[in-house]
Chains A and B, each alone.
Chain A
Amino acid sequence: ELKVEQNPLFLSMQEGKNYTIYCNYSTTSDRLYWYRQDPGKSLESLFVLLSNGAVKQEGRLMASLDTKARLSTLHITAAVHDLSATYFCAGSYSGAGSYQLTFGKGTKLSVIP
């Protein structure tokens, strides 16, 4: 059974600072996803990581995947207030024929001016 753990669960950071959110998973995961959720809203897809060493960047966010360590990171560069949201990582394993996502508990990010 795939388990996904994120840390930290809460993160308060000042504008302009850098920080990293960590996502560990317990067993083989074919794909690793990062989603953003604003309060009262649904999930917005940010990144899909498919292979060891994959790195993707969009604006101030960069995601990477290390399948050997079973670790993905979401790095925030020079944070701005608009990045305040909850970020989820999720893994999926297609071995059993299902492509369900298993989510972490989320990291609630607050960027303070």
Chain B
Amino acid sequence: GENVEQHPSTLSVQEGDSAVIKCTYSDSASNYFPWYKQELGKRPQLIIDIRSNVGEKKDQRIAVTLNKTAKHFSLHITETQPEDSAVYFCAASKGGSYIPTFGRGTSLIVHP
């Protein structure tokens, strides 16, 4: 089955800095890669996703890049703000059931 590794487990940055979270996956058939943000005590919510036919996608301060050859994808957050503090999960899935395999999460702490 699919295996998703996520690094780092904790990331501490100053407000205004950039943050990068990296994930690798094992199943070359995976073709859908979402990122979820989970604030303390709240449900995971999708923040951005990318499909395997695209190398990069941006949404304001958030971007995701995908390298299919190397089987890794990354989340980039620019101009971080304290409200970006949360746990971020990457996931990988493939067509059909689209059952996602999640990474273990990255706790992002943005210091004011």
A in complex with B: no
B→A interface (CB under 8 Å):
none
